[in-house]
């Protein structure tokens, strides 16, 4: 038994070493930096106080002066993103995957086309989303122009009142393919006999969907919810490529603020503080994911 344990430890040592060097050490050092003064190197909470009280709309986590339109602060924007993106992605993935499997011919080809948004890099997806809402060439401004809704027939990412909503809607297109593929895999595990039995008892397609299919897809739905929420909270390249957090911070997110502190200000301590806060906000989502996986 001792020999076996030594052999296991010997084979796991390279992996543990890599994790310690490239994961544990950077995390620990980032936490330490977040509590160090930039000038003196002494322990302090000034970095957290600064990022939490900054009233600059380009760096504010929570805006002081709330209004009917953004900017509301990067943290609030992330929360709004999750609140809209997650339900739409989950419900859309469930409905589309169900219809493609049981009611639409050529569903595999359609799923492949819809998965394109996940295959392309997020930065490219951000650019595509930007052009989707671009005046005279974007599909949404053109449609609203035909409908006579002039306030929405402009370039959305250039205006405070529409920039955040344009990116959220664009991200739904980019991420929906992931949800559809995962839900489709879950549908394959549902025995066909369950669907047939429900039809024999006279259940409509809608009742079969809600009473038979959805309850058996709860583990899959959890995966989609957790992965979508994680993507929304740490989103960076999609936003940076499309709007860089503008205009005037109206589409800013926490990862953009961390980047600004780190690259533009060279303030590694404040950037680390933002990273620590972002990790704390993501931790409950990770906890739910691990708990579900164990179950």
User: Averaged over 181-199, what is the pLDDT?
Assistant: 83
* Tens-place pLDDT, residues 101-116: 777 776 677 777 777 7
d(CA 140, CA 36): 47
Whether residue 24 lies inside any domain: the answer is no
Q: Provide CB contacts within 8 A for 31, sequence distance 6+.
A: 272, 276
Q: With a cut of 80, say whether residue 1 has pLDDT above it.
A: no
Domain that holds residue 120: 57-63+71-268
pLDDT at position 38 is 84
Whether residue 25 lies inside any domain: the answer is no
Structurally, the chain folds into a number of domains equal to 1
> Strand pairing partners for 43?
36
d(CA 254, CA 195): 44
Q: With a cut of 90, say whether residue 70 has pLDDT above it.
A: no
Name the maximum alpha-carbon separation found in the chain.
78
Whether residue 9 lies inside any domain: the answer is no
Whether residue 148 lies inside any domain: the answer is yes
* Tens-place pLDDT, residues 127-140: 888 889 988 888 88
Whether residue 147 lies inside any domain: the answer is yes
pLDDT at position 272 is 93
Q: With a cut of 70, say whether residue 86 has pLDDT above it.
A: yes
User: Averaged over 215-232, what is the pLDDT?
Assistant: 87
Whether residue 78 lies inside any domain: the answer is yes
Whether residue 15 lies inside any domain: the answer is no
CB 141 within 8 A of CB 153: yes
pLDDT at position 138 is 86
Whether residue 35 lies inside any domain: the answer is no
> Strand pairing partners for 36?
43
CATH code of residue 134: 1.10.3720.10
């Amino acid at each position: 038994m001792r020999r076996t344990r030594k052999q296991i430890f010997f084979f796991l040592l390279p992996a543990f070493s890599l994790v310690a060097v490239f994961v544990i050490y950077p995390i620990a050092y980032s936490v330490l930096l977040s509590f160090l003064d930039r000038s003196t190197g002494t322990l302090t909470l000034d970095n957290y106080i600064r990022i939490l009280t900054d009233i600059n709309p380009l760096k504010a986590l929570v805006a002081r002066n709330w209004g009917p339109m953004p900017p509301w602060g990067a943290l609030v924007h992330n929360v709004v993103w999750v609140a809209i993106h997650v339900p739409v992605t989950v419900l859309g993935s469930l409905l589309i995957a169900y219809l493609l499997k049981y009611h639409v011919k050529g569903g595999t080809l359609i799923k492949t086309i819809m998965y394109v948004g996940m295959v392309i890099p997020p930065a490219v997806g951000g650019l595509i989303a930007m052009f989707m809402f671009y005046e005279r060439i974007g599909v949404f401004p053109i449609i609203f122009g035909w409908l006579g809704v002039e306030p929405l027939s402009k370039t959305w990412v250039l205006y405070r009142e529409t920039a955040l909503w344009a990116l959220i809607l664009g991200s739904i297109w980019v991420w929906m393919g992931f949800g559809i593929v995962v839900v489709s895999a879950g549908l394959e595990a549902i025995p066909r006999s369950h669907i047939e039995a429900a039809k024999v008892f006279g259940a409509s397609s809608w009742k079969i969907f809600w009473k038979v299919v959805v309850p058996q897809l709860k583990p899959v739905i959890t995966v989609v919810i957790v992965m979508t929420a994680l993507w929304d909270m740490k989103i960076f390249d999609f936003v940076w490529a499309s709007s860089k957090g503008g205009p005037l911070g109206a589409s800013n997110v926490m990862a953009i603020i961390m980047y600004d502190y780190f690259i533009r200000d060279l303030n590694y301590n404040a950037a680390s503080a933002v990273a620590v806060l972002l990790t704390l906000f993501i931790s409950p989502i990770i906890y739910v994911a691990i708990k579900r996986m164990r179950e």
